[in-house]
A and B are shown apart, each in its own frame.
Chain A
């Protein structure tokens, strides 16, 4: 089973017809999907750096076009940090830890007690895109939620040559 680049681009946009989407969901994954998926994402972003792995709807690990370093980068081209760092520590952070701040997003009495749970929102400092929200207890450290083994993923899972990396 394989799909055209156009179909994968529609998938990324959320405009793929249901029948094709259903087939994709219920069949084993097509071999060329990851490469096509990257190509579709690459065509959407404005920066010249090569996408290595998407991390979120607007967040990627990229290979810098300038020096081949791997960075975590926003849609807008803002680079947070090296790909092994916790990008959240380099983001603009807004913490909802008061009842007033909670009632901005939830009706009164339907939000958590902020002595037990707070919301931490992580934004791109340059374009303001929200990349993640955490809901931890107030004292909990910033969560480093994903440390992908990209080498294994490229070599053993998707069978693609690993993009060059200068550390």
Chain B
């Protein structure tokens, strides 16, 4: 370890279901990763233990490091679990009369969301989850606004008062109001909200009221209703969890304000009004981290690949920006939240391996051993072979140094299970059966990766592939081989990469609003100016919300950098594109022309120039406003070049390694001891406590000054 003079500045937290990772970065770019068992009862305690574990590498104490920290970002699954376990508040729902069953019925696709393809087409498995709000706590009120936003039947005010009384009587701890078409015309819903508050005040009941337009004024009723309910149901309990975490930090001398990773790829304060968007955050961290690394390396096209125990997640960064999906699904609910676009396939390093009893073909997953690793860990209680078992048998993983030696793996036990379940029925040797499993997984992943890039019209040769996640570096060579990437990069901190990525994210709020603007290709200047006025109006509404959020955290409005954007499509087409606005405010026909030009350029890049169809005219479907303030981000290490030869103390010996039908001796290296500039030719295995980087024969790798490994095929 180097001198301890450098301050610790940045902390990232990834509180997963089984492990809580922490990631600390010093001002000189040095970092440590800490791990501790998660504690669902008190997350703050697991974070504390994980921090102690991390800082021990630097022989430092939590109490003297926390006061030094300038920024800390949390991401976790607590909110998601609260929804999945249905452990939120008792919410009461007010909707249009006659629509009381809408939330319970949900959308048909909610009955199979999250399923593997085999189960999606297997109707018997489809099932509706228990609704977040039961029909017994739902009340309809007479009101109707049509699709154009005209009030057809005015709100019957006494209905609202009556509904509030009944919902309070039924034990509601929060009230959600979501009326049809309120994103078009908010008047009735806002009136209902005010009436509800008046009635609650009269009853002297202090519970919050959530109107959907105040939170998610977007089209699609199911999405809007689900999201607003999610906010009422899960956000307040989550805020309590985060407050606990923040309080524990303060107790240990922390002066920073805790931030939380949000679905749109920015971080928000735990005090933010909208917390529903923190429901999924872990995997997003990796994408944000990749973007930052890409900026360091000068790569603007990046394929981010994250392989964990159960799934393989892919996201693309093109021209330096990631795509946003505006109506994603999470926890088996359709939602209207901006989410960093990612695609997932249910095959990972812990996937179970079975033979199909009828076709005798090898099948991976869809379930996985998760933290129980596989049959190679006797204490796991498992008797089904997992991918990890195959790795252990073939020498990829060190049985005595799994998770830094925290658990010992039994190679013989894994061999016996593979022999009985896979090798013997197929008439293969244990090695060839295990190698077949690895090949199948690698092929599945590389096909998925390739398809994800080429299906979007890109060429892999223009992309750098980043590979991370605890199990990523074991598979990197396998799933990138033959795809033809420009470069393949494995960060030395692959296992803590999501936590690192969270720490890289901007302090950024994002608000969205649906708008409906349609203009012909050669519209008059008056019409163009009118369209600009509508868009500007939407941006102004959103700006109030964004600035309000920052004011909660003590920022002045002038500290906030506002970045307007919009969603646009050719009129009549179905998919819109999200564009960062070329104009900071829209007023004139010239502004409109620039808005259109910017869309057309993006369209040409995403699809093809020849596919542009300006003759259809243009629609703007949504207004977006992002606001951010400056924060401290991690800096990458800058190590001096130590030449291509690794230092002798990094060499750990050799281990037999099986690939392409033969055993070879692979050189073992200690990852932490390798220096910038070192060059290693396969077969080699580079080990650290949290991850294993496999460089088989036919591959070579060089570590650069930022401690990034570049993997290449030897020509």
From the candidates B119, B356, B358, B384, name the one contacting A26 in the complex (CB within 8 A).
B119
Q: Are A18 and B127 in contact (CB under 8 A)?
A: yes
A79 and B678 alpha carbons, distance in the complex (Å): 84
Residues of A within 8 A of B125 (CB): 22, 25-26
Interface residues on A, range: under 10
Residues of B within 8 A of A22 (CB): 125, 127
Confirm or deny: A10 has a beta carbon within 8 angstroms of a beta carbon on chain B.
no
Confirm or deny: A28 has a beta carbon within 8 angstroms of a beta carbon on chain B.
yes
Residues of A within 8 A of B357 (CB): 28
Q: Are A25 and B367 in contact (CB under 8 A)?
A: no
Interface pairs A-B: 9 shortest CB-CB: A25-B125, A28-B357, A26-B119, A25-B124, A26-B125, A22-B125, A26-B122, A28-B356, A26-B118
From the candidates B122, B124, B358, B366, name the one contacting A28 in the complex (CB within 8 A).
B358
Interface residues on B, range: 10 to 19
A25 and B367 alpha carbons, distance in the complex (Å): 13
A25 and B125 alpha carbons, distance in the complex (Å): 6
Residues of A within 8 A of B358 (CB): 28
A25 and B116 alpha carbons, distance in the complex (Å): 13
Residues of A within 8 A of B116 (CB): 26
B117-134 interface code vs A (CB 8 A; 1 in, 0 out): 011001011010000000
Residues of A within 8 A of B367 (CB): 23
A152 and B122 alpha carbons, distance in the complex (Å): 27
Residues of A at under 8 Å CB distance from B?
Answer: 1, 18, 22-23, 25-26, 28
13 CB contacts below 8 A, A to B, read A1-B354, A1-B384, A18-B127, A22-B127, A23-B367, A25-B125, A26-B116, A26-B118, A26-B119, A26-B125, A28-B356, A28-B357, A28-B358
Highest count of chain A CB atoms <10 Å: which of B119, B122, B357, B358: B357
Residue of B nearest to A31 (CB): B357
Residue of A nearest to B356 (CB): A28
Q: How far in angstroms is the closest Cβ of chain B from A166?
A: 35
A5 and B384 alpha carbons, distance in the complex (Å): 20
Residues of B within 8 A of A1 (CB): 354, 384
Residues of B at under 8 Å CB distance from A?
Answer: 116, 118-119, 122, 124-125, 127, 354, 356-358, 366-367, 384
Q: How far in angstroms is the closest Cβ of chain A from B125?
A: 5
Residues of A within 8 A of B119 (CB): 25-26
A23 and B367 alpha carbons, distance in the complex (Å): 9
A18 and B84 alpha carbons, distance in the complex (Å): 13
A158 and B485 alpha carbons, distance in the complex (Å): 51
Residues of A within 8 A of B122 (CB): 25-26
Q: How far in angstroms is the closest Cβ of chain B from A104?
A: 28
Q: How far in angstroms is the closest Cβ of chain B from A142?
A: 31
A76 and B671 alpha carbons, distance in the complex (Å): 72
Q: How far in angstroms is the closest Cβ of chain A from B139?
A: 28
Residues of A within 8 A of B356 (CB): 28
A28 and B361 alpha carbons, distance in the complex (Å): 13
Q: How far in angstroms is the closest Cβ of chain A from B252?
A: 39
A15 and B96 alpha carbons, distance in the complex (Å): 36
Residue of A nearest to B124 (CB): A25
A sample of 16 more A-B contacts (CB under 8 A), given A26-B116, A26-B119, A26-B122, is A1-B354, A1-B384, A18-B127, A22-B125, A22-B127, A23-B367, A25-B119, A25-B122, A25-B124, A25-B125, A26-B118, A26-B125, A26-B366, A28-B356, A28-B357, A28-B358
Q: How far in angstroms is the closest Cβ of chain B from A158?
A: 13
Q: How far in angstroms is the closest Cβ of chain B from A70?
A: 30
Residue of A nearest to B367 (CB): A23
A1 and B358 alpha carbons, distance in the complex (Å): 14
Q: How far in angstroms is the closest Cβ of chain B from A114?
A: 33
Highest count of chain B CB atoms <10 Å: which of A22, A23, A25, A26: A26
Residues of B within 8 A of A18 (CB): 127
A22 and B332 alpha carbons, distance in the complex (Å): 15
Residue of A nearest to B357 (CB): A28
Residue of B nearest to A30 (CB): B357
Residues of A within 8 A of B124 (CB): 25
Residues of B within 8 A of A28 (CB): 356-358
A156 and B22 alpha carbons, distance in the complex (Å): 56
Residue of B nearest to A25 (CB): B125
Residues of A within 8 A of B384 (CB): 1
Residue of A nearest to B384 (CB): A1
Residues of A within 8 A of B118 (CB): 26
A28 and B122 alpha carbons, distance in the complex (Å): 13
A28 and B354 alpha carbons, distance in the complex (Å): 10
A25 and B122 alpha carbons, distance in the complex (Å): 9
Q: How far in angstroms is the closest Cβ of chain A from B386?
A: 14
A38 and B110 alpha carbons, distance in the complex (Å): 35
Residue of B nearest to A28 (CB): B357
A28 and B118 alpha carbons, distance in the complex (Å): 12
Q: How far in angstroms is the closest Cβ of chain A from B128?
A: 11
Q: How far in angstroms is the closest Cβ of chain B from A23?
A: 7
Q: How far in angstroms is the closest Cβ of chain B from A20?
A: 12
Residue of A nearest to B358 (CB): A28
A1 and B355 alpha carbons, distance in the complex (Å): 11
Residue of A nearest to B359 (CB): A28
Q: How far in angstroms is the closest Cβ of chain A from B442?
A: 24
A28 and B357 alpha carbons, distance in the complex (Å): 7
A106 and B357 alpha carbons, distance in the complex (Å): 46
Q: How far in angstroms is the closest Cβ of chain A from B222?
A: 23
Q: How far in angstroms is the closest Cβ of chain A from B356?
A: 7
Residue of B nearest to A18 (CB): B127
Residues of B within 8 A of A26 (CB): 116, 118-119, 122, 125, 366
A26 and B352 alpha carbons, distance in the complex (Å): 14
A35 and B356 alpha carbons, distance in the complex (Å): 21
Residues of B within 8 A of A23 (CB): 367
A18 and B125 alpha carbons, distance in the complex (Å): 10
A9 and B358 alpha carbons, distance in the complex (Å): 27
Residues of B within 8 A of A25 (CB): 119, 122, 124-125
Q: How far in angstroms is the closest Cβ of chain B from A160?
A: 17
Q: How far in angstroms is the closest Cβ of chain A from B227?
A: 25
A18 and B128 alpha carbons, distance in the complex (Å): 11
Q: How far in angstroms is the closest Cβ of chain B from A135?
A: 23
A22 and B127 alpha carbons, distance in the complex (Å): 10
A11 and B119 alpha carbons, distance in the complex (Å): 20
A18 and B126 alpha carbons, distance in the complex (Å): 11
A53 and B420 alpha carbons, distance in the complex (Å): 32
A84 and B83 alpha carbons, distance in the complex (Å): 53
Residue of B nearest to A29 (CB): B357
A55 and B150 alpha carbons, distance in the complex (Å): 59
A22 and B367 alpha carbons, distance in the complex (Å): 11
A80 and B657 alpha carbons, distance in the complex (Å): 67
Residue of A nearest to B125 (CB): A25
Residues of A within 8 A of B354 (CB): 1
Q: How far in angstroms is the closest Cβ of chain B from A32?
A: 13
A18 and B119 alpha carbons, distance in the complex (Å): 14
Q: How far in angstroms is the closest Cβ of chain B from A125?
A: 35
Residue of A nearest to B122 (CB): A26
